[in-house]
A and B are shown apart, each in its own frame.
Chain A
């Protein structure tokens, strides 16, 4: 039973560049979430999918951010025209909608540094 995986684990980019992150959820989980965490803070919700449908997006998710989950399996999060304020840990989590309590399990995260 493999957990949530994320790639890459680290990404360093220059301001203005585009970056894309990938998340592979736990295989039997149909819900997938993206969160962002900055130093000293708890994770903040960005968006979530149930199967391939994107059901909720945070106001934090500006138009430079886009997420997809085309076949209801893996998901990608793209940030266009990166800014230094985008530097953070980007976390993916997954859960099974068949469970009442919606326990979410996190991947190792992708640490983004924008120079």
Chain B
């Protein structure tokens, strides 16, 4: 079992719709959870971080964390073509500082 799992996609949504990206993780000791956006050929860009159960909103982005079910999700409201990218879920577990990444979900927003 992979430590962090994501659906590889592509997830295709129309412009203006809500995109929902999901991630599950295996280590119950995980403490910090992150979403990175990565455009083709570029490096990952941190867009959201979440540490407590519940929702965290930042502009058009909402991260949701459920530690009991070991999943993290990212909602993107009013999706734009410029949101088309790969979204990487990453986790920090236990006393370690390294990020453990999923393979990413490719999002395509079409006009």
Residues of A within 8 A of B (CB): 31, 33, 35, 40-45, 48, 55-56, 58, 89, 91, 93, 95, 101-109
Contact = CB atoms under 8 A, between A and B. Distances in A.
Q: How large is the interface on B (under 10, 10 to 19, 20 to 34, 35 or more residues)?
A: 20 to 34
B17 interface: no
A103 B34 contact: yes
Interface in B52-66: none
Contact of A42 (B43, B46, B102): B102
Contacts of A105: 46
Residue of A56, A58, A89, A106 with most chain B CB atoms under a 10 A cut-off: A106
Contact of B100 (A45, A55, A56, A91): A45
Given A91-B43, A103-B46, A108-B42, A40 B96 contact: no
Given A101-B51, A103-B49, A45 B43 contact: no
B103 interface: yes
10 contacts: A35-B99, A42-B4, A42-B101, A42-B102, A101-B49, A101-B51, A103-B34, A106-B36, A106-B43, A106-B45
A104 B43 contact: no
A42 B104 contact: yes
Nearest to A108: B43
B53 to A, nearest CB: 15
Nearest to A56: B98
Given A33-B98, A40-B8, A103-B46, 10 more contacts: A33-B99, A40-B103, A42-B4, A42-B104, A45-B98, A56-B97, A95-B97, A102-B97, A104-B46, A108-B42
A48 B98 contact: yes
Contacts of B88: 42-43
Interface string B69-111: 0000000000000000000101010001111111110000000
Contact of A48 (B42, B97, B102): B97
Contacts of A55: 97
- Kindly name the residue among B34, B45, B97, B103 whose own CB sees the greatest number of chain A CB atoms within 10 A: B97
A111 to B, nearest CB: 8
A41 B42 CA distance: 13
